[in-house]
Amino acid sequence: MRMNPSREIDNASREEAVETEVEGSITDGGSASSDEMKRSQARGLIERYFYQLTNGCGNAGCCNEFCASSGRQTHLSSNEAAAMALDLFKRKATLCESAPNKQLKTGDVEDQSDGTTPMDVSPAAQPSTSFARNTPSTSSSDGDKQTLLPKPLDTQRSSSESDSIKDIYFLTEAKILEILKQCMESKNFSPLVRVIGRVFSCWQSLNKSFLRTVKQGLSDKERKQRDDKETDEMDEGLQSISTRLADHDLGECSSKATDTLEVDMESVQRVYEAITKLDEERVNNAMLNAVTSLAQMADVEVIVNPLFQDGSNQLNFIIITMENPMMSSPEYLEVAFPTFCRALSHLPLAASCNLAKVWSKFSPVSLTRKVQALQQLITFKVLSGHFNSGPRRITVNEDDAITSATDCMKILYYACILGGVVEHQSRLSKEEEELNLQDFLGALGHENKERKPPKEDSFAKKLGLTVLDCRKPLIPFSEFYNEPLNDQLEVDHDFTCYKKESDGRFAFLNYPFILTPATKSTGLYYDSRVRMFHERRLTLLNSLVQGEEINPYLKLKVRRDHVVDDSLVRLEMIAVDNPMDLKKQLYVEFEGEQGVDEGGVSKEFFQLVIQEIFNPDIGMFTHNSDLQTYWFNPTSFETNRQYTLIGILLGLAIYNNVILDVTFPMVVYRKLMGRRGVFADLHDAQPVLYNSLKALLEHEDTVEETFMMNFMISYIDVFGNTITHDLKENGAQIPVTVENRKEFVDLYADFILNRSIEKQFREFRRGFDMVTDESPLRNWFRPDEVELLVCGSKNFDFNELEKATEYDGGYTSTSPTIRYFWEIVHSMDEDQKRKLLMFTTGSDRVPVGGLAKLRLILAKNGPDSDRLPTSHTCFNVLLLPEYSSKAKLEERLLKAITHAKGFGML
């Protein structure tokens, strides 16, 4: 704010005056050994005078004429207040006592040893937080770099308080253990309670506590050089004090120290362990109240304080507080921990990313402990909340504690990625990305070129990496799933919040790491249904305007004996003429059969198509009998267009929520998500080759004599012919050595996984993108979870199916026929169980989430008779006559599931 020039003070003159006055006080005050301590105290006094003039002490009846609370001071500009502060410092004018939340008499603080009111005497609890937001100067002593905060007005003690604790505004392990020892010897824990209340409730104090000194391990000469550098930095900060006072930016003075020092985590953990072992109620209450006060102050600070826009040197208080082992205790779960999480959720993006980088350097055990604490908070709030009840329907999306904890978990999630095995070499080159973009736009069709894929996560964009870059996370991704939250979450409501981003409503689908694949699969189902409805409505509108009869469904009419030819021809016509029709709901009709497709017909259609297309005799894919996986045939005679149609079928299966009986190596799903295959991917795709190349990399003796290899490789095609390929120009003339063996392995893996099948896979992915281009599939699912969508779960547990089954038509779980049925089912082998699933649901695959997610219905179909059991595969209904004996039921059931084929009217 610009003031009257006649009243404005020149900054250079003011800085000179500050330096003169402060240096004068040092010269008059004592020996050179205490110079830095006195310089720090002098600067602190000037700052206190400044805030007394501008903010006041808070006492309504103050009679100090140099205090804003007295009403005797006219409004002062920042420059005027800074000049007057210097004058008051020179005159040693009176300083006021700041008014606490509770009006205490002198000496009352000494008696507060029960640990119940540390908030009342901490900087965080004052009416004005302007002073608490300002960080103090630094002071260096014999070996350890220590930071002394200027003594806040509200924490001045009576003269009877011990000199050993009254000036402590930061902590080291040695200091707090010393206080702890004295308290145990005197049986009086009041000093420890006060120090905890003072330091652990103030984020500036914690930022300067438990710092790891960078002087450890240095020689005497190096230590002296660093001491001189730190002194120069302090002098530089002292010279600019008046400028900082005038600009209200005192917090900036602490940034340099934090840049060079970091938290000694081992020290912090030992301190927490000592306090926990103490098991003193007053101390525990003090810590609880201090953390609560800290959380409340930080909740405001991270929003309004510009220091947190970057936050790289203001995050120590978060790191220290999150190490508190009591954060997941019931006392903290009520107020302190949720409030602290809310503060973290308000951190700017840059600060959150920096915090993730810090935590990524922690051990897996430490990171797991933090994740589990947040999981415990979420679970506690989910189980103790009253959701979807009462006059006003409340969901978990509206619980501030749950959503804030989820925000915090996102920071840990990316820390888990950053701290894991990250590989950037699997990313596509710029040329490949441009080529894929052209294919992608071509896949969208003429009417959809303006549409864009789902937006990128801002966190991933800021850090420059995604989950796909992480080969192995620091801790398993499954640690981030929260089952109680997934059970309570109303996915339809959450999906609505996800789609209406402009409303600012919280959606867990924006945090897919906390959701199980089954929950995300449900969200993907809603997304697909919304798009199907949109395409159907658009088709109907066009038919009304243009007067043409247009089918609102993607209808495929096929012959059972020619299912592949008929479906591929039809899909090829649609892909060429109008690719947007692929977004419509699939409707399959078998020629000559009367089944109405409500889902069951489509399931059998996909099963039949997959069985024929992936038959090795056709030659489009090769089959690994040991791994039971399929891979692209690099020497296939089929056209690229055929692979496009296969990609369309795979996309349609996901889009229409159908599970397929086909298994690819994991690298196929990584490539579909936009990554290249690398050497590590050979472990799943071709483990024998992977082990051979790994042995080459790890061989310690001479490689040339042992392996006798060069940069030319050979492989056998499906017809038994041997084909050779040079990995480099004149590869046969280049031997593999210790120096170039890494290059050889990378080129070998790149040829097998990428270059040899480049044309086939590009067309395959193009067809896949025609269906899934606008889907949130890539945002919500990792490659291993996409595999679950395609292949289903491997948890073949019929006990879970029995628990989830419903009964209709007069049957109950205790009916004799039902008891016979489950006894027969549990005695079946796996092949018979798959046939039962196929007969009942139209698919022999287990849905994502296991058989418990399969809603099977057993219904009565009349009295005892010789009729075979029948089913409605569209609705997962099995119709059973009330057979007279278990033997008859078993004979009829096995015959039905073994010879069932086709659809007919009942």
What CA–CA distance (Å, rounded) separates 868 from 886? 14
Are residues 415 and 359 in contact, defined by beta-carbon separation less than 8 angstroms?
A: yes
Quick one: 543 exposed, middle or buried, by C-beta within 10 A (0-12, 13-18, 19+)? Answer: middle
The strand pairing partners of 458, in sequence order, are: none
Tell me if 471 sits within 8 A of 361, measured CB to CB: no
Contact 642, 590 (CB under 8 A): no
Q: Which residue pairs from 82-85 have beta carbons closer than 8 angstroms and sit at least 24 positions apart in sequence? A: 82/9, 82/14, 82/50, 82/242, 82/245, 82/246, 83/9, 83/14, 84/49, 84/53, 85/46, 85/47, 85/49, 85/50, 85/53, 85/245
Active site residue 874: yes
* Helix-then-strand count for the chain, H and E: 38, 16
What distance separates the 2 farthest-apart alpha carbons in the chain? Answer: 113
| Phi–psi pair at 735, nearest 5 degrees | -75, 150
Cα gap 716→725, rounded to integer Å: 11
Tell me if 197 sits within 8 A of 122, measured CB to CB. Answer: yes
DSSP category for residue 657? T
Q: Where are the alpha helices (DSSP H) in 92-172?
A: 163-166
Strand partners, 262: 212
Dist. CA 402–CA 406, nearest whole Å:
6
Cβ atoms of residues 344 and 399 within 8 Å: no
> What 3-state DSSP class applies to 25?
helix
Give CA–CA dist 282/180, Å, rounded: 13
CA distance 32 to 49: 26
Contact 697, 742 (CB under 8 A): yes
Distance CA 810, CA 816 (A): 12
The residue type found at 552 is P
- Name the nearest CA neighbour of 445 among 583, 555, 590: 583
364: nearest Cα among 472, 463, 471, 263: 472
Backbone angles phi, psi at 241, to 5 degrees: -65, -40
Active-site choice (57, 67, 408, 874): 874
Which residue pairs from 635-644 have beta carbons closer than 8 angstroms and sit at least 24 positions apart in sequence?
635/717, 635/718, 635/719, 635/723, 636/760, 640/759, 640/760, 640/762, 640/763, 641/572, 641/763, 642/568, 643/760, 643/761, 643/763, 643/764, 643/767, 644/575, 644/763, 644/764, 644/766, 644/767, 644/770
**CA-based nearest residue to 692, from 621, 744, 740, 728:** 744
Q: Six-digit token pair at 819? A: 């008891």
Q: Kind of pairing, strands 629-632 and 211-212?
A: unpaired
Work out whether strand 421-422 and strand 211-212 pair parallel, antiparallel, or are unpaired. unpaired
Active site members: 874
